[in-house]
Structure 1
Amino acid sequence: MNIAILASGKGTNFEAIVRAVKKGDIRNVQVKLLVTDREEAFVRKRARRLKIKEVFIDPSNFSFREDFEKALVRVLVREKVELVVLAGFMRILSSYFIKKFKNKILNIHPSLLPAFKGVNAIERAYKYGVKITGVTVHFVDEKVDHGPIILQGAVKVKPGESLEEVEKKIHKLEHNLYPQAIKLLVEKRLKIKGRCVEII
């Protein structure tokens, strides 16, 4: 299966996925390319180091979001991408794009959805005083951080822990959970039933 990873930032999840593929933890998968919407994103350096093709699509070249997404779709179709993996891609995708890759887009979110949807989820959960937070991998639908949940993992917030310590635990969990979810999908072990995802 050919996958593309879309990212906008540092790219730690991107690297975790690529390394899992290279190690053989996820079989029958090729990471065809990285697509980013930020020219200065550090993830581009990771892609070059890991010898993954990378494409920068500049949103400022397009007047409308759909035009940007049409350019993105052209790149993905050209590379025969079958699965789109969002790894810190800081753009909300339209229904146009989601319909093009229905049930073929995954996202990871640093909270136990449906709690703390949207940006700065770790910090908001921490400031709220939660005792348990975590990570969610889910299919992408037209709503933000809403699609059917594939996997979740929990992290305990210990008394006196700093936000930075909680963030480190969350990121470590992300790097384990995301490759697991991709592996399940590639092995055709996921069955969507409404909002529920059955692992078979």
Structure 2
Amino acid sequence: MVKLAIFASGSGTNFENIITTIQNGKLKNAVCELLIVDKEHAYAIERAKKLNIPYLYVNPKAYANKEEYETEILKHLKDKGVQLIVLAGYMRFIGKVLLEAYPKRIINIHPAYLPNFPGAHGIRDAYEAKVSFTGVTVHYVDEGVDTGEIIHQEKIDIDPSWSLDTLEEHVHALEYQMFPGVIQTICEQIEREDTK
């Protein structure tokens, strides 16, 4: 079993979807040890309580800099034996401390077909650009903004009649369908690496 920590900043729908997939046995080789949130009132916390997942709020403003903030998080990750960090709507850049502690072990889901539309508003940016397609990308995290090596991505053709809300629904539906399977594949890879 690969031990995950999931990081979220907001509502936590992807977090809940991953946990549900683990709990119903479809994502077989992962266990979530911890939810980390950077916002005190993130709704993801309510989801964690309901799903019996330990959670931790770490306030970035309580630390002098990103290194100190991430060092605090890292202590908890090490205590729990976390092997893979999954970013699911976590709206902060990952810094040196976590990148060095978890090389190629931090993954992110991005609601666009990278390298198109990186950054915080991938769905809206694609919609406003009037492109014919967008998608969902899972990638490794590096120092850049959504620039890490792509693990898996799928396209969505955009119907010109769609509203932004409709496009968001389609993108989120694809995220929920795609992310657990990608996590399973990465966990299988980690299990192979860690038994060598």
Alignment of 1:48-59 (within 5 A): 48-59=49-60
Alignment of 1:91-106 (within 5 A): 91-106=92-107
Shift of 1:189: 8.4
Instruction: State the distance in 1 between where 2:150 and 2:116 align.
Output: 13
- 1:184/1:190 contact within 8 Å kept: no
- 1:135/1:153 contact within 8 Å kept: yes
- 2:140/2:150 contact within 8 Å kept: yes
Q: What is the match of residue 39 of structure 1?
A: 40
- 1:32/1:79 contact within 8 Å kept: yes
**CA RMSD after TM alignment:** 1.5
* Partner AA of 2:102 in structure 1: F
> Which of the two has greater helix per residue?
2
Q: What is the match of residue 182 of structure 2?
A: 181
Shift of 1:96: 2.5
Is 2:9 the counterpart of 1:8? yes
- 2:12/2:88 contact within 8 Å kept: yes
Q: What SS class does the counterpart of residue 33 from structure 1 fall into?
A: strand
Q: What SS class does the counterpart of residue 32 from structure 2 fall into?
A: strand
Instruction: State the distance in 2 between where 1:28 and 1:140 align.
Output: 22
Shift of 1:190: 11
Instruction: State the distance in 1 between where 2:122 and 2:12 align.
Output: 18
- 2:91/2:120 contact within 8 Å kept: no
Runs of 4+ that moved beyond 2 A = none
Is 2:122 the counterpart of 1:115? no
Q: What is the match of residue 197 of structure 1?
A: none
* Partner AA of 2:44 in structure 1: V
Alignment of 1:58-137 (within 5 A): 58-137=59-138
Q: What SS class does the counterpart of residue 4 from structure 2 fall into?
A: strand
Instruction: State the distance in 2 between where 1:126 and 1:29 align.
Output: 34
Q: What is the match of residue 18 of structure 1?
A: 19
Percent identical among aligned pairs is 38
- 2:67/2:96 contact within 8 Å kept: no
1:29-81 deviations in Å (ceiling 9; x for gaps): 21111000100100000000011001011111111111000001011001110
* Partner AA of 2:125 in structure 1: R
Instruction: State the distance in 1 between where 2:76 and 2:59 align.
Output: 13
- 1:59/1:68 contact within 8 Å kept: yes
Runs of at least 5 residues in structure 2 that lack an aligned partner in the other structure: none
Alignment of 1:185-196 (within 5 A): 185-188=186-189
TM-score (norm 1): 0.92
